[in-house]
Amino acid sequence: RMEYAVRGKIVMKAEQMQEEGREIIYTNIGNPHGVGQSPITYYRQVLALCDLPAENGVDHPDVYKLFPKDVVDRAREYRSAIGPCGTGAYTHSQGVALFRRHVADFISERDG
């Protein structure tokens, strides 16, 4: 038997309480903007530059007027690792080697 957890008992109880006039802040749905969190601009900008054609993004003559330097530098690093197809293309089944290296380095530094 399958159950759609987002519509489970807790959410159903919250909806009931809301109908009774209680204020409910849904934090389990996975929509941080719905509870007032600002978008995390850095990651969105990096992804935009990874997915835009280079001439419209990282190689645009005004890229440093449009994006912060650290965003452009990170996007260039990622583009060199993922290739010109952007983040939507298939990769090695283990993932992009650069990203695996970053994760491994983080864990090694954290855990020793």
- Backbone dihedral region of 46: left (phi > 0), alpha (psi from -120 to 50 degrees) or beta? alpha
Mean pLDDT, residues 8-35: 82
User: What is the reported pLDDT for 63?
Assistant: 97
User: What is the reported pLDDT for 88?
Assistant: 83
Tokens representing residue 94 in the block: 């283990």
DSSP string, the chain: ----GGGSHHHHHHHHHHHTT------SSS-GGGGTPPP-HHHHHHHHHHHS-GGGTTTSTTHHHHS-HHHHHHHHHHHHHH-TTGGGS---TT--HHHHHHHHHHHHHHH-
Q: Band of the pLDDT at 105, cuts 50, 70, 90?
A: very high
Look at 56 and 2; give whichever has higher pLDDT: 56
User: What is the reported pLDDT for 67?
Assistant: 97
**What digits encode the pLDDT tens for the residues 52-94?**
999 999 999 999 999 999 999 999 999 999 987 888 878 888 9
User: What is the reported pLDDT for 3?
Assistant: 59
Q: Residue 33: is its pLDDT beyond 80? A: no
Whole-structure pTM over 0.75, yes or no?
A: no
